[in-house]
């Protein structure tokens, strides 16, 4: 593919609720521009954009795909994002690197959770928003009702149709372009006269369009007042400026059916007309030196390089692919660049663009363009590539803390051995995914945004030959004591020649908030001080594995106050064993308890769902601390035991249809109520410790 200059580029991201038809729209646009000769279907697992094995299997998009479209000597870098909110990491990154956000709204369902979420992100990055009301051919599709649902959900915005539908449902035949007052029926650019019965509706809608187009520019307002109309070019320019203006909050609206390929040609034109080229936009960076100066910069070839890596994919055959958007400067093949985020040198060889999975070589890439490079050594998603003498960092998006955790159980020894490498690779590619070896619960834990996110990660690992089962992670309980108690243990063993002998009397005391301590109160040399470290070591050998339920022991003091030794048979190992066993006996006697993590939760739900959420919290030992309502949403603050909230993400999602969100922070550890503790202790199978 040839290299396009900055003014010939358009960067567009498609976002919207799961299943609103983004991937099918991309397919139609590729077909209309001759990039493919036959339209694939998501059901037939043959679309360009959903090319990943996992996407084809599940029939939904799981990560952003890049599909450049060449049209009218322009290149539109189209990003198709997943709608499923588990993949918000991808959605945020894609919005970050686009110049315009096309929100795809289902003409039957109207605004949905995924629509709201994507809208919110578009606002964060101050991106121009354009809407297409899609699936207009479906039964019950309703253009006006969908517009009303948009107005209700986003009351600060003005929704201005640029196209209106001809017919609806199975009768949806085409669209009227209000700019030219022509009808589009087919898939191409042929225009026809308006159907006469639509003349009045089209005239009325056109007046609204012209008024909105005049608004951003005084000259256009004057012209409109003087002549009562604007030319098609003036309308297009005005609407582009209006969509870009954060104060006007004007949203141009289109109407389409992706699968029937109706309204898609005008949508394609819209991507060239209503989206500004990168040369007209500035971007925010931080200088990667001590000054950390924030600056808005122009996007042009002759400025220092700043390219943002918005996606990393791990391919079994080609290795790691890094997808980047150049904000300024240009990228040449076979050059070395500088990863400013990690201060590392990187070689760019074989730069290309991708169309779904197809790799298309490019000679070089200009400012504003998007490209892909294979096998970078140090670069992760979210990094900035720049030049070494002028390092620049582009701010990466903030991500919410992962809320969904699973314990990973490798199926074989081989899986155990390879697990770390593949998990690190997958987590480097996705900032909303993390893994760790948790020493407290002795499990490998994977954290992500939800069940689907984790499920996809497990399947990806399997494709790399690492098979993992998942389980709910253990709760990181801890054990401690609430009283003083003491015990004496004599260890004696006679095997052939030399024997083992050691006797330890030891007291256990609570040591609240101060961890583990060891002390001696032995008087008169009952045991020699050289054995104290042995006793301490013996006690410490059970701190990690617990005494009553297999959890780590915290906040206890062990005091050795008496003992006996033997001139020949006493030795280190004998006192380790005696110390350990005396500690265990004393611990059992010292009114041991389990401690559990208590978290603070902030749960944000639509006001109408507050009752259900509070009712459910009551069944989970939670204590509501406060409630705060703003703009139809209530924030509930509550304290709750983590053990009751391990799968709260799923519960909240099903209770609120995905509209609720929550965050948690660890507050403290509290004693587990006795009736709950009994169950946990009973479930514990003690492991034998080898002497």
Ligand X SMILES: Nc1nc2c(ncn2[C@@H]2O[C@H](COP(=O)(O)OP(=O)(O)OP(=O)(O)O)[C@@H](O)[C@H]2O)c(=O)[nH]1
State which residue, 40 or 161, has the beta carbon closest to ligand X.
40
Least distance CB 41 / ligand X (angstroms): 6
Virtual torsion, Cα 362, 368, 372, 374, nearest 10 deg: 100
Q: How many residues bind Mg ion (CB under 5 A)?
A: 3
CA-based torsion, 111, 112, 116, 121: positive or negative = negative
State which residue, 150 or 527, has the beta carbon closest to ligand X.
150
Least distance CB 401 / ligand X (angstroms): 24
Q: Is 366 in the site for Mg ion (CB under 5 A)?
A: no
Gap between the Cα atoms of 36 and 46, Å rounded: 12
Q: Which does 121 bind (CB under 5 to 8 A by kind): Mg ion, ligand X, none?
A: none
Least distance CB 402 / ligand X (angstroms): 21
Cβ-closest residue to ligand X? 83
Q: Provide the strand spans (E) within 128-216.
A: 129-134, 158-161, 163-166, 174-177, 182-184
Q: Which does 432 bind (CB under 5 to 8 A by kind): ligand X, Mg ion, none?
A: none
Q: Is 6 in the site for Mg ion (CB under 5 A)?
A: no
State which residue, 134 or 146, has the beta carbon closest to ligand X.
134
638: β partners: 601, 624
Q: Which residue among 20, 61, 300, 457 contacts Mg ion (CB under 5 A)?
A: 61
CA-based torsion, 619, 621, 622, 625: positive or negative = positive
Q: Which does 444 bind (CB under 5 to 8 A by kind): Mg ion, ligand X, none?
A: none
Least distance CB 63 / Mg ion (angstroms): 10
Q: What is Dmax (Cα atoms) for the chain?
A: 116
Least distance CB 215 / ligand X (angstroms): 31
DSSP per residue over 573-591, as a string?
Answer: HHHHHHHHHHHHHHHHHS-
By CB under 6 A, name the binding residues for ligand X. Answer: 16, 18-24, 41-43, 60-61, 82-84, 134-135, 137-138, 257-259
Gap between the Cα atoms of 339 and 393, Å rounded: 9
For residue 294, count other CB atoms closer than 10 A to its CB. 10
CB-based contact 282:311 (threshold 8 Å): no
State which residue, 18 or 443, has the beta carbon closest to ligand X.
18
State which residue, 355 or 584, has the beta carbon closest to ligand X.
355
Least distance CB 65 / Mg ion (angstroms): 8
Closest to 74 measured CA to CA, from 10, 2, 28: 10
State which residue, 21 or 216, has the beta carbon closest to ligand X.
21
State which residue, 9 or 133, has the beta carbon closest to ligand X.
133
Gap between the Cα atoms of 294 and 298, Å rounded: 13
Per DSSP, the three-state class of 509 is strand
Gap between the Cα atoms of 362 and 388, Å rounded: 24
State which residue, 113 or 574, has the beta carbon closest to ligand X.
113
Q: Which does 134 bind (CB under 5 to 8 A by kind): Mg ion, ligand X, none?
A: ligand X
Q: Which does 168 bind (CB under 5 to 8 A by kind): Mg ion, ligand X, none?
A: none
Helical spans, DSSP H, in 607-673: 610-618, 648-656
Within 8 A by CB and 6+ apart from 302, the residues are none
Least distance CB 65 / ligand X (angstroms): 10
Within 8 A by CB and 6+ apart from 216, the residues are 238, 241, 242, 245, 248, 250
Least distance CB 84 / ligand X (angstroms): 6
641: β partners: 598
Region near Mg ion per CB under 5 A, out of 55-63, 89-97, 253-261, 363-371: 55-63
Q: Which does 263 bind (CB under 5 to 8 A by kind): ligand X, Mg ion, none?
A: none
Least distance CB 129 / ligand X (angstroms): 17
State which residue, 18 or 480, has the beta carbon closest to ligand X.
18
Q: Which does 457 bind (CB under 5 to 8 A by kind): ligand X, Mg ion, none?
A: none
Q: Is 149 in the site for Mg ion (CB under 5 A)?
A: no
State which residue, 8 or 22, has the beta carbon closest to ligand X.
22
Gap between the Cα atoms of 378 and 461, Å rounded: 21
CB-based contact 394:408 (threshold 8 Å): no
Q: Which does 75 bind (CB under 5 to 8 A by kind): ligand X, Mg ion, none?
A: none
Least distance CB 81 / Mg ion (angstroms): 8
Least distance CB 465 / ligand X (angstroms): 27
Both tokens assigned to 243:
């969509």
Gap between the Cα atoms of 108 and 134, Å rounded: 9
State which residue, 137 or 269, has the beta carbon closest to ligand X.
137
State which residue, 456 or 542, has the beta carbon closest to Mg ion.
456
Within 8 A by CB and 6+ apart from 517, the residues are 511, 556, 557, 558
Gap between the Cα atoms of 481 and 546, Å rounded: 12
Per DSSP, the three-state class of 232 is helix
Looking at residues 9 to 48 of the shown chain, list those that interact with Mg ion (rule: CB under 5 A): 22-23
Q: Which does 24 bind (CB under 5 to 8 A by kind): ligand X, Mg ion, none?
A: ligand X
Both tokens assigned to 426:
């997958």
Least distance CB 433 / ligand X (angstroms): 19
Least distance CB 253 / Mg ion (angstroms): 21
Looking at residues 408 to 447 of the shown chain, list those that interact with Mg ion (rule: CB under 5 A): none
Q: How far from each other are the two terminal CA atoms of the chain, in whole angstroms?
A: 70
Q: Which does 64 bind (CB under 5 to 8 A by kind): ligand X, Mg ion, none?
A: none
Region near Mg ion per CB under 5 A, out of 60-68, 89-97, 267-275, 421-429: 60-68
Instruction: Summarize as ranges the residues that interact with Mg ion (CB under 5 A).
Output: 22-23, 61
């Amino acid at each position: 593919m040839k290299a396009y200059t900055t003014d010939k580029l358009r960067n567009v991201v498609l976002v919207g609720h799961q299943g609103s038809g983004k991937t099918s729209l991309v397919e139609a646009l590729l077909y209309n521009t001759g990039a493919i000769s036959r339209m694939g279907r998501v059901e037939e697992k043959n679309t360009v954009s959903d090319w990943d094995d996992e996407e084809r299997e599940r029939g939904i998009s799981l990560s952003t795909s890049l599909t450049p479209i060449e049209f009218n000597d322009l290149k539109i870098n189209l990003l198709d994002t997943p709608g499923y909110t588990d993949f918000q990491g991808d959605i945020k990154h894609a919005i970050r690197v686009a110049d315009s956000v096309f929100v795809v709204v289902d003409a039957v369902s109207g605004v949905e959770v995924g629509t709201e979420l994507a809208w919110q992100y578009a606002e964060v990055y101050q991106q121009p928003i354009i809407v297409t009301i899609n699936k207009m051919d479906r039964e019950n599709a309703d253009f006006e009702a969908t517009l009303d649902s948009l107005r209700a959900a986003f009351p600060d915005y003005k929704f201005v149709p640029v196209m209106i539908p001809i017919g609806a449902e199975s009768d949806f035949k085409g669209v009227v372009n209000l700019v030219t007052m022509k009808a589009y029926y087919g898939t191409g650019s042929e225009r026809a006269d308006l159907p006469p019965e639509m003349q009045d509706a089209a005239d009325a809608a056109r007046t609204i369009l012209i008024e909105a187009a005049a608004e951003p520019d005084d000259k256009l307002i004057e012209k409109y007042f003087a002549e009562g109309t604007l030319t098609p070019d003036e309308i297009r320019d005005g609407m582009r400026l209006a969509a870009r203006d954060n104060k006007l909050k004007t949203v141009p609206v289109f109407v389409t059916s992706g699968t029937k390929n109706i309204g898609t040609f005008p949508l394609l034109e819209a991507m060239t007309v209503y989206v500004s080229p990168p040369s007209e936009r500035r971007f925010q960076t931080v200088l990667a030196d001590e000054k950390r100066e924030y600056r808005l910069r122009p996007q042009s070839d002759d400025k220092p390089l700043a390219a943002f890596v918005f996606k990393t994919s791990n391919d079994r055959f080609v290795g790691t692919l890094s997808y980047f958007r150049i904000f300024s400067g240009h990228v040449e093949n076979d050059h070395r660049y500088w990863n400013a985020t990690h201060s590392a040198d990187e070689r760019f060889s074989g730069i290309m663009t991708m169309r779904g999975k197809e790799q298309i070589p490019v000679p070089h890439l200009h400012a504003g363009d998007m490209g892909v490079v294979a096998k970078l050594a140090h670069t992760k998603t979210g990094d900035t590539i720049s030049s070494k003498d002028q390092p620049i960092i582009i701010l990466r998006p903030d991500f919410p803390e992962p809320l969904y955790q699973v314990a990973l159980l490798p199926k074989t020894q081989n899986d155990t051995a390879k697990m770390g490498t593949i998990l690190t690779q997958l987590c480097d590619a996705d900032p909303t995914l993390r893994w760790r070896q948790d020493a407290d619960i002795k499990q490998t834990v994977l954290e992500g945004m939800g069940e689907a996110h984790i499920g996809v990660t497990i399947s990806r690992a399997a494709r790399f030959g690492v098979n993992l089962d998942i389980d709910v992670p253990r709760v990181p309980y801890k054990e401690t004591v609430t009283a003083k108690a003491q015990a004496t243990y004599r260890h004696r063993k006679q095997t052939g020649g030399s024997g083992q002998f050691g006797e330890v009397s030891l007291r256990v005391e609570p040591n609240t908030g101060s961890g583990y301590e060891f002390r001696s109160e032995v008087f008169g040399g009952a045991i020699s001080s050289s054995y104290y470290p042995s006793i301490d070591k013996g006690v410490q050998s059970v701190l990690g594995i617990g005494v009553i339920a297999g959890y780590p022991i915290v906040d206890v003091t062990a005091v050795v106050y008496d003992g006996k030794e033997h001139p020949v048979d006493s030795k280190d190992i004998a006192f380790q064993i005696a110390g350990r066993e005396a500690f265990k006996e004393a611990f059992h006697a010292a009114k041991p308890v389990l401690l559990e993590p208590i978290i603070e939760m902030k749960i944000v739900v639509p006001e109408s769902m507050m009752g259900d959420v509070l009712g459910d919290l009551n069944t989970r030992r939670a204590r509501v601390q406060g409630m705060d309502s703003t703009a139809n949403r209530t924030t509930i603050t509550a304290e709750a035991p983590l053990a009751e909230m391990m799968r709260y993400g799923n519960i909240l999602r099903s209770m609120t249809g995905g509209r609720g969100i929550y965050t948690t922070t660890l507050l403290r550890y509290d004693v587990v109520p006795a009736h709950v503790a009994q169950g946990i202790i009973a479930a514990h199978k003690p492991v034998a410790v080898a002497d």
